[in-house]
Structure 1
């Protein structure tokens, strides 16, 4: 699916959900006011906090909180941390209004879900959650660039791999990737057919990288290799973005699947690979030379 098609489907969905109407769920609430009620039910908030939660400007949040206040669906109390602001919270009348709203909208959505089989509903939930996370991640990635490795990056990439390996206790004497004799010539290693390595750069610093290469001994499989990221890079979704780019590249090269080896110490990495559709397999594939990596995973295309 391309961006144009997704945007068209999103527009259609917004209209079908009634998000362009002045009322939400046939009730005297705009969509923004309904979202504000829901947020107040989750936790009281100041105007600034509500603006942040709803991802709207402060005047928009203030205006809709004032409407709820006038309807007696919300009330205020002094903010003990800041005498210049008030904390808005739900009133019993507001809670009752919200309960009615949830009832109306839940019945509506239940009617839609009866048109879908159980596995389709499960897939919809996973896809919507993934899409939402992707939107959040993209907002954190401004200024970070994923690009192919060059010879000028070799020293920085090797330093990243050594630093992260030391962080997790992946020492050279135990046969991990940090022991590879080609660690200081990474740009040369990934020049062959079906190979690629990308680095993540921010403010002229290399903060991580990862690559794809044929899996030794397996003609139709590739291997996801040398995925290492400094702590300051983590939490922005960039490791996943790079891995997705690598998997897309692998498909264009005609590979039938992608293999990787890792260790239980790297629990965050394992969770990432599982989210990308990799599954654990009992036996090692190919000839990677990394006998210390006890976790083997495979994703088929």
Structure 2
């Protein structure tokens, strides 16, 4: 869906301005230089170190997906970092034939140096911008990056491997996989414990046990039989409202577009059957909020609650039928 506001500047002007700002941003951040962030490393190597440091134990395939590199370029990048003593491979515990990537002690030092440089660079720029404009900048950049990713991922090719991996309805093992995704993510970021995981598993099991049913649907993204992302629509024909539930994407799929594909399917399903779709989330999940808002959801309610086992600020978003 292309959104055009006829009251704003001509589309051609906006395109030219964004292209100019993008070129200037690339130059100012130093991406045109042979090395980046005072690290002595090429920009691609810097990004690889940051990603491996953020999620130690990822494999080369996941790294390539995040950096948008093909298999051969990913292999060369990892080999260079290995030979420099910054990255090491360790046999995967679940399969000794595959290996996972970790930063060495030297790699950790470089990563800390890069983080300090980048934080100082951003901090210096923000000091010249008033706080209100800082927040507007963050939201605008998030929306722009998400729109770029959406544009790249949109395809009518029905033979897309990602499309084949998105399955509808209950799949064996999906209840445990989805509950586990929720438990790990919210334990790490919000301190939720067994109460939360039990609540997710119990309610999800009850929901999947009712399928197939009118106005209710579940989609999962699977890789080698494991569900790594999910979304569900739990609709009520009497009220004409649909509840979007259990939307989560594993960290290994960050930037892959899977979350947007799942949202697209769920919204198409809901819009064909209901007048309104709503969801509950927590304040602070900014990346998810930007995705919701890009699909037309608006914040309608906000309150503190403890129903998940910890005190959080719950937010309700609603989306009327377009």
TM-score when normalising by structure 1: 0.52
Inter-partner Cα distance in structure 2 for 1:143 and 1:268: 31
1:165 Cα shift?
8.8
Task: Give yes or no for the alignment of 1:116 onto 2:129.
Answer: yes
1:115 Cα shift?
1.2
Inter-partner Cα distance in structure 2 for 1:80 and 1:55: 26
Give 4+ residue runs of structure 1 displaced > 6 Å after superposition: 295-299
C-alpha distance 267-296 of structure 1, shift in aligned 2 (>3 A): closer
The aligned residue for residue 18 of structure 1 is: 30
RMSD: 4.0
Inter-partner Cα distance in structure 1 for 2:142 and 2:149: 11
**1:167-217: CA deviation from partner (whole Å, max 9, x where unpaired):** 51132xx6x49xxxxxxxxxxxxxxxxxxxxxxxxxxxxxxxxxxxxxxxx
State the secondary structure of the residue aligned to 1:28.
coil
The aligned residue for residue 90 of structure 2 is: 77
Task: Give yes or no for the alignment of 1:5 onto 2:33.
Answer: no
The aligned residue for residue 169 of structure 1 is: 236
State the secondary structure of the residue aligned to 1:267.
strand
1:85 Cα shift?
3.5
Inter-partner Cα distance in structure 1 for 2:123 and 2:261: 41
Q: Structure 2 matches for 1:149-228, cutoff 5 A? A: 164=215, 168-171=235-238, 176=240
C-alpha distance 237-119 of structure 1, shift in aligned 2 (>3 A): farther
Q: Structure 2 matches for 1:1-301, cutoff 5 A? A: 2-42=14-54, 43-143=56-156, 164=215, 168-171=235-238, 176=240, 234-236=262-264, 262=276, 266-267=278-279, 272=292, 276=296, 278=298, 280=300
Which structure would you say has the larger Rg? 1
Size of the aligned set, in residue pairs, is 191
Inter-partner Cα distance in structure 2 for 1:50 and 1:297: 35
For the 8 Å contact 2:276–2:319, the answer to whether it is kept is: no
Inter-partner Cα distance in structure 2 for 1:93 and 1:128: 33
Inter-partner Cα distance in structure 2 for 1:106 and 1:15: 17
C-alpha distance 27-140 of structure 1, shift in aligned 2 (>3 A): closer
TM-score when normalising by structure 2: 0.49
For the 8 Å contact 2:296–2:319, the answer to whether it is kept is: no
State the secondary structure of the residue aligned to 2:32.
coil
For the 8 Å contact 2:280–2:317, the answer to whether it is kept is: no
1:36 Cα shift?
0.8
C-alpha distance 234-91 of structure 1, shift in aligned 2 (>3 A): closer
